[in-house]
Structure 1
Amino acid sequence: MSVFRSGLLVLTSPLSALSLRLVPILASAARLVQDTLYVHLQPGLSLTGSTQPRSTYVPATSEVYSLISKLYTDADVHADLDVRVLLTNILNQGATPPALGSVQNLSQPPEVVLTDFETGDGGQSNPVKQRLERYATSCYSCRPNLISVLLYPEYELEAVDGELSQPPETGASEEPLQSYSDIVVGGTFDRIHNGHKILLSVCCMLAEKRLLMGISDKDLLEIKTLKELILPYEQRVSQLSAFLVDIKPSLQYEMVPLTDRFGPSITDPHLKCIVVSEETLKGGLAVNRKRVEKGLAELAIHEISLARDARHSKNEEEKISSSSLRYRLLGTLLLPPRKDSSLPSSPYIIGLTGISGSGKSTVAQHLANLGAFHLDVDALGHDIYAPGGPVYNQVVEAFGEDIVKEDGTINRAVLGAKVFGDREQLKRLTDIMWPVMAQAAKEKIEEAAAQGATVCVLDAAMLLESDWADMVHEIWSIIVPEEEAIRRILIRDGISEEAARKRLENQMPSSQRVKHSHVVLCTMWEPEDTYEQTEKAWALLQKRLKEE
């Protein structure tokens, strides 16, 4: 069977049976669809008989929500598959049904339609497959020449010790969910994951008219783990919009940046309900206190449970979370490598950079131990202004005789005090140093090539500031929270906190470095974590080099 980029899974089993079958059904679907899998819930749908099956409306109940929540949680093991449960035919108490015969457009029109429908004849009845295709195209925009697959009996019910497993007790009922005209929800919404999808789905099931979303930005991002890897606000909004319009295009969506804890939740008089998680319940209660202070009606609070991440590992959260996704990005390729005829075919050059105190030297040593040729550009800089070096006289003339020690060498501490904290003086020094350092680095790379090195690590704190990025195939940045970097600088260099902060102010911040980086590593955890990240990045690099 071919593998398709997008597919539509039409689930016809009763909800209670589906709860048991989701894991094997999703596993079967994931073998056939590699990118986007849309799921259409239509329990009781018959694909046999003389009349064409028609979509009917499923009431939005807690039982339906529990199944959707379980579906997304179970789907999380298929990390590369973007599962989207379509909610157009799941109506709340105040919703207006779409016009009969309307076909919903999807951002990734399905190439294949799948179903769990049991035919009783081995699951490959051609008339049933034809009716499934007609049903799918009557509901959604699909690719021409749509192919159908009947999953039953490819999957089997899960069994435990020979007994059929039972669905978990959720307290779900067939009572309709209370719906509201205007719903509000807030969050960072970085890299939409299945936890987000559960939250957004319940919002869409509760909302009759409008969903207002506050999206964390600026100062609210400062406390986030690996904040440097959080997508830009506009990109997060774009991903959210694409998902929401796919699952329920009939709602009015409004998205606003949140720069404080409350945003429009405490000023919009039309809001009726706020959706929170177990973690943000206190925030919902605080919203109501603020609304009362402003003379506005309190909001109904709808709380959802957090979805557990079965794949979580060390340094990751137990719940499905964006911070865990960001952690998994460490060591992976974030941008395509540079292809430039001016770069040597060998060695492959990695530009390693990071702010002072980031742990760059530690990573450089790990890479050298793994087999890379280590070129310490910062050390080259020390050599070129040594007595008799190519820039010694220029540096002394520019910054004065008081930077020279009794033995004739340049006092780096005195020179540093003159340039750090003074951008004009720093530029004066770098204009002297950088061109000579770049030439020295190129000569060292040629030496590495002559020695047969396949990978050369160009270890340079100022790689990006000096415009040396054109000398490398990939930029690898080492990041660490600024306060941790300052703590390390104080221990390592014995300078004042003020001096340490001034030093960092004269360097490109980590958030800016990441935008130019092909690979990012973080040293904020234990040393063994840094080594594991470095090994991961090295192994993936070796794989890329073999594929070239």
Structure 2
Amino acid sequence: MHSSGLLVLSSHVSALCKGDVLSKILKNAKKLVNSTLYVHLNNAHAPLGENANYSCLRDTLSRGIVAQQNAGNAFHADMLPFVAKFYSEASILCNNIDVNLLLHNIGTDANAPTNQFNTPINCILIDHPAPNHSFLRDFVASSLCVCDNDSRNTVFSTPVYSVLEDLQIHGSEEESSMIGKYDATVIGGTFDRIHHGHKVLMSEAILLARRKIVIGVSDGPLLERKTLKELIQPVEDRKTSLKCFIRFVARPDLELHLETITDPYGPSITVPDLDVILVSKETEKGGHLVNAKRKERGLSQLKVHVIGQGTLLGETENAIDDIPFEEIKVSSSSVRFNLLGTLLKPARTPTHDFIPESLPKPYVIGLTGGIASGKSSIAKRLENLGAIVIDCDKLGHQSYLPGSRANLEIAKHFGSDIVDDNGVINRRALGERVFSDKREMDKLNSIVWPEIESLCKKEIVTSVERHSHPNAPVIVLDAAILLEAKWDRLVHEVWVVNIPAAEATVRIMERNRLSEESAIKRIGSQTSNKSRTEQANVVLSTLWEPSVTQKLVEKSWQALQERISKKDPEKPKL
């Protein structure tokens, strides 16, 4: 098994689109490569001709180069459906492999500039049953512009494998039209964590562009209705990923313009010299809306290209109100959903010097979330799986009890009128005083939070002492103010439970019988989901059915056990 590989597809693109050819190739490639696969397509122009000797790899590859030289700025029409089929198959068969279809040689003559390919290649794969290894290595070194001596020497010693046993696919000569390039293309979307659907969109935009490609990257208000929006990468990170992908797969002279957008249209209605807008089938109508806006501004109309279909649609005068720059919905949300319950950043090193040396050190999770997020229900599920849960809200109530340090300090600062004859604090009266005065609220927190932390530490020690299992326990601190009170210094991992503000509003109205205005005000007074997520090691959500929440918690727990085992292999799992 190799970490990376280069797959050279010598067959004509029209043949590769037929039946299960791609499926066979990718299945065999996955047996040899487990991390990164680069794909060089040699025959994407005119058919090779009746006299082509398909049994000879040298003849097949050489004729492909000749066809490229004769094509100019055009490519075989089957190239577009091939791109969609290729990435669709790869998403299923190679979902754990980063697969990239190189496009620098498609629709360009042989003299066009080529990217320097200095990325390590651990093996070369070919869709030919009996390849000439030395010729193929030389072809790779020259076709991919591997110029420095170290890289060339590495290529000349790289192992070669065949990933297809059937030569029949090399014989497809069906007539098909050629597609010419346009000067400039434009696309848009969120582009969160580049996946195969994004690669189809970008690849077709690259193929159709002769001079430049313009991309609008959604941010701000355009993200508000996205599922799990807090897990969307920062816009600059997304733009960097786009740039890296396009610079790697496209020819180096293709101009790239990236623009952050906060409205649905972005550069599609402001840049005059555009020719084609690429959309998904779901947002095709939005492409025509772009043309309506361009018409209002006196700009030229764009061709509307629906990705994956290989056709260019004509103009329409009927603008339909839809958002044109909507990301491909195949897997963007599912990618973020799959991040739930996984470790997003390395675990912390907590301060546990309050635990006696004689006791085993527990693994501590800090569980937090906003009002009505379902945090407590997740705590209960974790308890059922074997965790020890410490309810910091209950400890908060204890901190106010008569005789406690916090009780005495509160009475001293806020006055004896909020304390009855038995030393019990009238928390309603106290609340009325602090909720309208931030300075007084901060003072109250400075008194109560340290007391709760002290009680929490005692509970941790007591829980470890009572724990009968041979290995150290997993302790969950269920704390709404975990981050605000800086109690995260006590934990190895911060687990944040998020739900959208709209869902939280509905839950608060139903649970607390509050008005919508009051519910929104309560949510607004808390730390934002975005801020919590930025500090999270693990993110969870109770947005879906309880059965989904249970599966997410079980997934999180299993992953946690695996992390603990790796940290200390001698300790059995709970």
TM-score (structure 2 length as normaliser) = 0.83
Match runs of 1:223-302 below 5 Å:
223-248=225-250, 249-302=252-305
SS of residue matched to 1:185: strand
Deviation of 1:347 after TM superposition, in Å, equals 1.0
Q: Is contact 2:403-2:423 (8 Å) kept? A: no
Task: Tell me whether 1:501 sits opposite 2:520 in the alignment.
Answer: yes
Q: Distance in 1 between matches of 2:295 and 2:556?
A: 52
SS of residue matched to 1:90: coil
The residue number in structure 2 matching 1:151 is 162
Q: Distance in 1 between matches of 2:417 and 2:118?
A: 67
In structure 2, the CA distance between the partners of 1:199 and 1:403, relative to structure 1 (3 Å rule), is: farther
In structure 2, the CA distance between the partners of 1:130 and 1:103, relative to structure 1 (3 Å rule), is: farther
SS of residue matched to 1:489: helix
Match runs of 1:57-456 below 5 Å:
57=68, 59-77=74-92, 78-91=94-107, 95=108, 97-99=110-112, 104-106=115-117, 108-119=119-130, 128-140=132-144, 141=146, 142=151, 144-146=153-155, 147-153=158-164, 174-248=176-250, 249-305=252-308, 320-339=330-349, 342=352, 346-400=361-415, 403-404=418-419, 409-420=424-435, 422-452=437-467, 454-456=473-475
Q: Is contact 1:24-1:157 (8 Å) kept? A: no
The number of aligned residues is 513
Deviation of 1:324 after TM superposition, in Å, equals 0.9
Structure 2: which amino acid aligns with 1:435? Answer: P
Q: Distance in 1 between matches of 2:265 and 2:429?
A: 49
Deviation of 1:13 after TM superposition, in Å, equals 1.9
Structure 2: which amino acid aligns with 1:136? Answer: V
Task: Tell me whether 1:10 sits opposite 2:8 in the alignment.
Answer: yes
Unaligned runs of 5+ in 2: 49-53, 311-326, 568-574
Q: Deviations over 1:345-403 (max 9, x none)?
A: 63100010111111100000000011000011121111111223321132244445565
Q: Is contact 2:211-2:254 (8 Å) kept? A: yes
Structure 1: which amino acid aligns with 2:525? Answer: N
In structure 2, the CA distance between the partners of 1:103 and 1:457, relative to structure 1 (3 Å rule), is: same
Structure 2: which amino acid aligns with 1:72? Answer: Y
In structure 2, the CA distance between the partners of 1:438 and 1:55, relative to structure 1 (3 Å rule), is: farther
In structure 2, the CA distance between the partners of 1:536 and 1:152, relative to structure 1 (3 Å rule), is: closer
SS of residue matched to 1:529: helix
SS of residue matched to 1:37: strand
In structure 2, the CA distance between the partners of 1:527 and 1:400, relative to structure 1 (3 Å rule), is: farther
Q: Distance in 2 between matches of 1:512 and 1:173?
A: 57
Q: Is contact 1:353-1:475 (8 Å) kept? A: yes
Deviation of 1:431 after TM superposition, in Å, equals 0.7
Structure 1: which amino acid aligns with 2:123? Answer: V
Structure 2: which amino acid aligns with 1:151? Answer: S
Q: Is contact 2:105-2:114 (8 Å) kept? A: no
Structure 2: which amino acid aligns with 1:461? Answer: A
Q: Distance in 2 between matches of 1:106 and 1:414?
A: 71
Structure 1: which amino acid aligns with 2:282? Answer: E
Q: Distance in 2 between matches of 1:306 and 1:403?
A: 72
Deviation of 1:328 after TM superposition, in Å, equals 0.8
SS of residue matched to 1:386: coil
Q: Distance in 1 between matches of 2:167 and 2:509?
A: 60
Q: Distance in 2 between matches of 1:139 and 1:329?
A: 38
Deviation of 1:545 after TM superposition, in Å, equals 1.2
Deviation of 1:156 after TM superposition, in Å, equals 7.3
SS of residue matched to 1:6: strand
Deviation of 1:267 after TM superposition, in Å, equals 1.7
Deviation of 1:179 after TM superposition, in Å, equals 2.3
Q: Distance in 2 between matches of 1:346 and 1:96?
A: 66
Task: Tell me whether 504-513 or 418-427 shows the greater mean CA deviation.
Answer: 418-427
The residue number in structure 1 matching 2:25 is 25
Deviation of 1:500 after TM superposition, in Å, equals 3.2
Percent of aligned positions with the same letter in both sequences?
Answer: 41
Would you identify which runs of 4 or more consecutive aligned residues in structure 1 move more than 6 Å? 49-54, 155-158
Task: Tell me whether 1:529 sits opposite 2:548 in the alignment.
Answer: yes
SS of residue matched to 2:57: coil
Structure 2: which amino acid aligns with 1:381? Answer: G
Unaligned runs of 5+ in 1: 120-124, 159-163, 308-316
